[in-house]
Chains A and B, each alone.
Chain A
Amino acid sequence: MVFIQQLINGLQVGSIYAVIALGYTMVYGIIKLINFAHGEIMMMGAYFAFILALVGAPVWAIFLISMTLTALLGMAVERIAYKPLRNSPRISALITAIAMSYLLQNIALLIFGADPKVMPSIIPNKPINIGGLQVSNITIITFLVSVLFMILLTLFINKTKAGKAMRAVSEDTDAAMLMGINVDRTISITFAIGSALGALGGILYAVAYTQVLPTLGVLPGLKAFVAAVLGGIGIVPGAMLGGFILGFIETLAKAYISSRWSDAIAFSILIVVLSVKPTGILGKNTREKV
């Protein structure tokens, strides 16, 4: 019984990781950049939701407005910091991403202060009894909302023209450009969607842990990144799979091994996976060409 309870907890944590990991994987897939600022984008999304909740906006508006604002923020970050570096060495872009993450974190620190703020309960917590198991409605809502957005994203990538452009650019940017695809706009759309999903993860995270603070995005950001690598970075279904696997591993490690070591266990898994199968669970081995 305890085990099933833990699995359900893992499902909640895992779906949050999966949603955030999607942002990492989409950006990596399209411009081969590990967007270290993604955790901070997620944190900003949580703060937007916090402000809207204080103002007293309805739940749907909180989600919609903060996701839109975060999408705009993500596009701005790309335009200001990453676009000028698109043709420079990978290491420069990577360093810029790290710097951007600290810039956003410190801006949040200056605006909102370092102390954690209590997130208003936008979704009232009501435990539901399912066959003797106490399941919080927040767990169920988190899972359903994440799955809904994952389905929407999959449909968008596979069925729409913009999604097709996205796949083309990630496969071969130059060829896509020659085919008349607006690469700049496609990259912007990718950042917008990735950031909106990050905001969704941020809101769900803030609701689950009932607080917001400037360093909110650091650990879930790093872990979502681990999830993206675990599933195979650049592969959209891989991010979802990796997120859920990491969520399960973490909650089970917390319950059965040690709660203080659970972070170290998550990162050890990353190192083991990279040593054994560097391309991740769903990744294909690619041959290096000269």
Chain B
Amino acid sequence: MAGKNKKSNVINLIAIILVFVLLNILTTSGIVSRYFAGILVTCFINIVMASSLNLTVGYLGQLALGHAGFMAVGAYASALFSIAINEMGMPATIQLVLSLIVAGIITAIIGYLIGLPALRLKGDYLAIITLGFGEIIRVAINNFKFTGGAQGLTGIPKIVNSNNSYWVTIVVLVVLYTLTRSRHGRAMKSIMEDEIASEAVGIDTIKFKALGFTISAFFAGVGGGLYAQYTAFLDPSTFGFMKSVEILTIVILGGMGSLTGTVVASFILTLLPELLRDFAEYRMLLYSAVLIIMMIFRPQGILGTKEFSLTGALRIPAAIREKKRAQNDAEGGDL
């Protein structure tokens, strides 16, 4: 078992590096335009936001409607921090990593404080409280002096590009993937399946719900930090309830409980509106229609709770051959 894991880790690592090299060749040689590289960064940010929300929705089974609020906290925290340390002239990578960690920690603390009262209760309370929180954050950012108010925050160092956002996304995905397959991840999944039963087998449900929600908030903060230092300008109206719904749509489309599904859906829902630029006013109409149709006909999303695995995909031809041979053998046996 350990050997198999090691083998798949190596294969995945090679794939990650190959994609990175490809990305680098495409962006530096000018085969893809700067505009397209920008869309890729948006894709990566969406992956970070949606996969962090997926932890709450897909693994804890709790609906959170304030993810844009966490994104806003992370964005402003990292932006203000990055502006403050910009004078020190440290390398861009270190500045980015530091600001993302600061953004993550601040967002995680706020997430914990918001989540704790809601997670003690059963039912839709987390949805209600996070919804209220998202609105409060928006009003607060609009009215505080240090966030630049309704005019927005300018002068943020623009240090995020397609390369470093790619690596941040990979780190976030790897951490979330290992977390969901750890002892803690299994505990969270059991809470989603049946809260009372998991409590009965000795899982501290409140603790694990709070843990999952806090980690989710942490990575939402990281996503917000990426966004802030990519756009270099923050407008509080970006982080409305609409944004939370957009992120939720990605999670639902990809499949609640599937990180690879989230990645696929992020690409679809980021690239599709770009391709359909002429129909921009129909975008939210499309999003909402997709959500309703998905909920009625395929509530589990594109991938359901399954994960797409490279080693699994590599094994498909072999598996087909195996199946054919078995079939032939069976037919031969009948004759």
CA–CA, A49 to B215, complex, Å?
47
Inter-chain CB contacts under 8 Å: number: 112
B-chain residues with CB within 8 Å of residue A110 when the two chains form the complex: 281-282, 285
B143 near A98 with CB under 8 A, answer no
Measuring CB to CB, which residues of chain B are less than 8 angstroms from any residue of chain A? Answer: 57, 61, 63, 65, 114, 117-118, 121-125, 127-129, 131-133, 135-136, 139-140, 142-143, 196, 241-242, 245, 248, 252, 256, 281-282, 284-285, 287-289, 291-292, 295-296, 299
CA–CA, A89 to B58, complex, Å?
13
Shortest distance between the CB of A40 and any CB in chain B (Å): 11
Shortest distance between the CB of B58 and any CB in chain A (Å): 10
Q: How many residues of A contact B (CB 8 A)?
A: 43
CA–CA, A90 to B122, complex, Å?
12
A263 near B296 with CB under 8 A, answer no
CA–CA, A209 to B206, complex, Å?
44
A-chain residues with CB within 8 Å of residue B63 when the two chains form the complex: 91, 94-95
Question: Is A103 on the interface with B (CB-CB < 8 A)?
Answer: yes
A-chain residues with CB within 8 Å of residue B248 when the two chains form the complex: 95, 98
Residue of A nearest to B114 (CB): A271
Question: Is A181 on the interface with B (CB-CB < 8 A)?
Answer: no
B-chain residues with CB within 8 Å of residue A109 when the two chains form the complex: 281
Q: Which of B114, B139, B256, B292 contacts A99 (CB 8 A)?
A: B292
Question: Is A148 on the interface with B (CB-CB < 8 A)?
Answer: no
Interface of B is mostly: helix
Interface residues of A in 62-117 (CB under 8 A from B): 81, 84-85, 88-96, 98-103, 105-107, 109-110
A103 near B285 with CB under 8 A, answer yes
Shortest distance between the CB of A220 and any CB in chain B (Å): 13
CA–CA, A96 to B136, complex, Å?
24
CA–CA, A197 to B124, complex, Å?
24
Most A Cβ at <10 Å: residue of B132, B282, B296 = B132
Shortest distance between the CB of B325 and any CB in chain A (Å): 41
A271 near B129 with CB under 8 A, answer yes
Residue of A nearest to B296 (CB): A84
B285 near A107 with CB under 8 A, answer yes
Question: Is A16 on the interface with B (CB-CB < 8 A)?
Answer: no
CA–CA, A38 to B88, complex, Å?
52
A264 near B140 with CB under 8 A, answer yes
A267 near B135 with CB under 8 A, answer yes
